[in-house]
A and B are shown apart, each in its own frame.
Chain A
Amino acid sequence: MSGLFGTLNVANKGMQAAQTAFHTIGHNISNAETEGFSRQRVELQADLAYTLGGVGQLGTGVKMIGILRVVDDYVTRQIRGENGTFNKFTAKSEVLEQMEIIFNEPSDTSLNFNLGEMFDAWTELSKNPEIPTAKSIVVEKSKTMTDTLNHIANQLESLKDDTTELIEMNAKDFNSIVESLDTLNKQIFNISIKGQVPNDLMDQRDLLLKNLSSITNFSTSFDGYGRVSIKAEAGAPAAETEVLSFDGSTKNLLTVNDSDGNVVVQLGGNELASKSGQIAGYKEALVEINEQIDELNEFAVTMAKAINYVHREGMGEGFENNFFTDNDGGEAITAANIKVNQVLQDDNSKVNVGATSASLEGDGSRALAIARVRNIKLSSGMTYEFEAGTLNLVGDPNGNTIESTYKGIATNIGISKQQSDNMVSNQEVLLNQLVMRRESTSGVNIDEEVSNIIKFQKTYDANARVIQVLSEMLDTLIFRTGV
């Protein structure tokens, strides 16, 4: 027989359980909008029964086993993977978008338009070889074109610098998150070793890991205490390198080196083989920027060589000026330094119009030949020569015209950007689905919590009523049974 005090104890345990559940509900509600928070639940169980001789097992009330956090570790890991890919393409799209803005196509102020105007100016000059203004217009329109080209090249260079800086910032972020994880590992260990579960710390750990996956890809493993260790791939061929061990004794952080203007992110002395996350995205964008710069340089050189050749060749002593030069008047032309020969800028009359220096004032054949370069297919390795008896340049059938080369450069960015944008939107759908799944497991539903409040309120009230009745029974026993 348990006695009245035993029953009092059962009711007391019930009230305590209800109160604890209440507390946890409050915790859930107050963290409903906390990022990375997983709802918690007080796990209840019937306490060990007591054998009542000849009657059977008599229950001894409720027992709280622990406070659990409701999570699906599989979904959490999937989110890390998809978040990495999502961030990679977001980062890439972001840089490519800026590149698109730099080229500013299609518009009436773009390089494409300037190129057309330059060639039109040459045609006008070929029609009006006698008029000095026609030469000035050629020089001015060509200057506008080279200015735009210089501007694009410079903008691309600074975009490259900005992107490099973003990679450096990401590496720093990575390092600081790894440091935080190390601290968190130690706190988790200190609590776990006492046999308790550090629910909120584990939520924080998962959140930090998710943030880390935005930066680069890595693999994780967890030990029995809930600590995490991280490995990332580095070197060629890529091999797993430990970034953080469980106890924090091994900690390899990212370093960023600049070699020949190319940024290299290193882990433990080897280059980080980043496949997803912002570092991978920015690195892919850097490759695209470099390609664009190379193509733009090749474009500038090919165009300058062809026009220079037609402008210069066969003019005769003293008139063999190049039309385009680099900044120092030489032939080391790039997109960033191409300019109209200073000699011609200073004296527009030195622009060659006729077949030779001895040509008459009405001879615009050379200007016409330059205007016709517009429709001639050029390539970077072509040999420059005139068609016999004319000033028309012999093209390379495998080459491309100046404008279509440029068009190719400008639309290639569009293609890469579109691809990247598509990846972003696909990845976004995937990631959102996973986040929804996580939310459906671990998220806090206020309605649910409120109905639990009511439930536990009733439990609490009922337990209190048991105590009240017990109290009346004790009252009867002690005061009414006269001694």
Chain B
Amino acid sequence: MRITNSTLSTNYLRNLTRNLENMQKYQNQLASGKEVSRPSDNPLLVSKIMDLSNNILQNKQYNTNISDSLGWARTQDGALNNVNATLNRIRDLMIYGANGSLSETDRLAIYDEVNTKVQELADTLNTNFDGRYIFAGQKTLSTPFDATSGTLIYNGSTEDITREISKGVTIDLLTNGNQIIETTGTSDGGSNDNLGTLLNKVLKALQDGTGLDNLSGDYLADLDKHIDNVLQVRSKIGAIDNRLQTAKSRNESENLNLNTLLSEREDIDIAEKYMEFSVMKSVYHASLAVGAQILQPSLLDYLR
């Protein structure tokens, strides 16, 4: 093949440009730390990267959802622990008060303490988490329990609150406060199914000194039912806490997996890339040097 001067220079320039393009590609990758910067670099890869970034963002959101929910469940558990202690104290006081030989002053003293414990119950159940009442159903902004009249009354709603903890999976936080003070199968055909009613009767008996035998009889049995009920609610909340913890650890390992996958696809291997870049750099330098050598001379240089 006949070679001309412009063959040499165009060929040389084309190869030099190609080398420069490669240099730019490596520089881009090294500077951004990313394998691809445009869909056309590798459409399939970019599609996967977009998918993974979406999943990671979504996963992060689920993680905050789970953490928030865990906070709720733990606060609820703590509150119910106190409720349980208070109810047990009331139980003790009831047994003590049922003693017929007590003087009226002593009985009234017990009355006062039970009354305070009822207020305490309301206060505990009115626990606030993150600006919201944890046992108010969906009426989260108004105090759900009221004992100012001497009777424990529930003013909240009876719905729970739903949270999404992973794709398509929701969990109900037991915020319905009614279930804590409502049980079934109490004496007298269920007339004491409501804790407020029962405590009211107990207080009345202590105040008036009438029907004191109930305190160690039906009322005590009914209160035990209520204590059992609270324990049951507590164990339900414990189960939710458990589920949330499992979900959290699954979420976290999923997050790790997703990030690893993303990193494998998106991030460059710096050492490898730098090696490639160095090789490219020497190729580029070599081509520059060769260009300077071959483009310079012609026959004219040797005709004197």
Residues on A with C-beta less than 8 A from B10 are: 432, 435, 439
Q: Does B47 reach chain A (CB closer than 8 Å)?
A: yes
- Look across to chain B and name the residue whose beta carbon is closest to the beta carbon of A420: B40
Stretch at the interface among A152-160, A221-229, A295-303, A368-376: A368-376
- Contact at A375–B40, with CB atoms within 8 Å? no
What 1/0 mask marks residues of chain B from 138 to 173 whose CB sits below 8 Å from any chain A CB?
Answer: 111100000000000000010101111001101000
Write out the residue numbers on chain A whose beta carbons fall within 8 Å of the beta carbon of B161.
362, 364
* A362 interface neighbour in B7, B139, B303, Cβ under 8 Å: B139
The interface residues of chain B lying within 8 Å CB-to-CB of A119 are 58, 61
Chain B nearest CB from A265 CB (Å) reads: 27
Indicate which residue in B40, B65, B136 contacts A123 across the interface (CB closer than 8 Å).
B65
| Contacts of A439-456 to chain B: CB distance below 8 A | 439-441, 443-447, 450-451, 454
Contact A362 B50 (CB under 8 A): no
> With an 8 A cutoff between CB atoms, is A4 at the interface?
no
Q: Which of A114-140 contact B (CB under 8 A)?
A: 116-117, 119-120, 123-124, 126-127, 130-131
Say yes or no for A240: interface residue by CB 8 A criterion. no
* Given the contacts A120-B61, A374-B58, A432-B14, A127 and B2 also touching, CB distance less than 8 Å: no
A361 touches B141 (CB 8 A): yes
Write the A402-438 contact mask toward B (1 if CB under 8 angstroms, else 0): 0110011011111101100100000000001001100
Contacts of A412 in B (CB 8 A): 43
Contact flag A372-B6 (CB < 8 Å), given A362-B132, A414-B38, A436-B11: no
Given A123-B65, A368-B164: A445 touches B5 (CB 8 Å cut-off): yes
1/0 per residue A371-396: CB within 8 Å of B?
A: 11011000000000000000000000
- Name the CB-closest residue of B to A105: B39
B97 within 8 A of A: no
Q: Are B131 and A407 in contact (CB under 8 A)?
A: no
A359 at the interface (CB under 8 A from B): yes
A100: Cβ under 8 A from any B Cβ: yes
Contact A440 B137 (CB under 8 A): no
Q: Is the CB of B58 within 8 A of A445?
A: no
- The distance from the CB of B48 to the nearest CB of chain A, in whole angstroms, is 9
Within 8 Å CB of A435, what residues of B?
10
How far, in angstroms, from A97 to B14 measured CA to CA in the complex? 22
Q: Knowing A443-B4, A444-B5, say if A100 contacts B163 (CB, 8 Å).
A: no
Inter-subunit contact B138/A413 (CB<8 Å): no
Q: Does A142 touch B at the CB level, under 8 Å? A: no
Q: Chain B residues with Cβ under 8 A from A371's Cβ?
A: 164
Contacts of B164 in A (CB 8 A): 123, 126, 368, 371-372
- Known A-B contacts A116-B57, A450-B299; A363 and B138 likewise in contact (beta carbons under 8 Å): yes
A334 CB to closest chain B CB (Å) equals 23
| Chain A interfacial residues counted at CB < 8 A | 60
Q: Are B65 and A445 in contact (CB under 8 A)?
A: no
Contact residues in A for B11 (Cβ distance below 8 Å): 436
A368 touches B162 (CB 8 A): yes
Q: Which B-chain residue is minimally distant from A39 (CB atoms)?
A: B4
Q: Is the CB of B54 within 8 A of A443?
A: no
Asked if A106 is an interface residue, CB under 8 A from chain B, the answer is: yes
- Interface flags for B1-31 (1: CB within 8 Å of A; 0: not) read 1111111001100100000000000000000
The 3 closest A-B pairs by CB, nearest first: A414-B39, A362-B140, A443-B4
Q: Which residues of B contact A (CB under 8 A)?
A: 1-7, 10-11, 14, 36, 38-44, 46-47, 49-51, 53-54, 57-58, 61, 65, 68, 131-132, 136-141, 157, 159, 161-164, 167-168, 170, 175, 266, 298-300, 303
**26 A–B contacts, CB within 8 A, in A order:** A32-B6, A112-B54, A116-B53, A120-B57, A123-B164, A124-B61, A130-B140, A130-B141, A360-B139, A362-B137, A362-B141, A368-B163, A368-B164, A407-B47, A407-B50, A411-B43, A415-B43, A418-B43, A432-B14, A435-B10, A436-B1, A439-B6, A443-B7, A446-B299, A446-B300, A450-B300
Q: A360-B140, A414-B40, A444-B5 are in contact. List 6 more A-B contacts (CB 8 A).
A: A105-B50, A123-B65, A130-B131, A372-B168, A407-B47, A440-B4
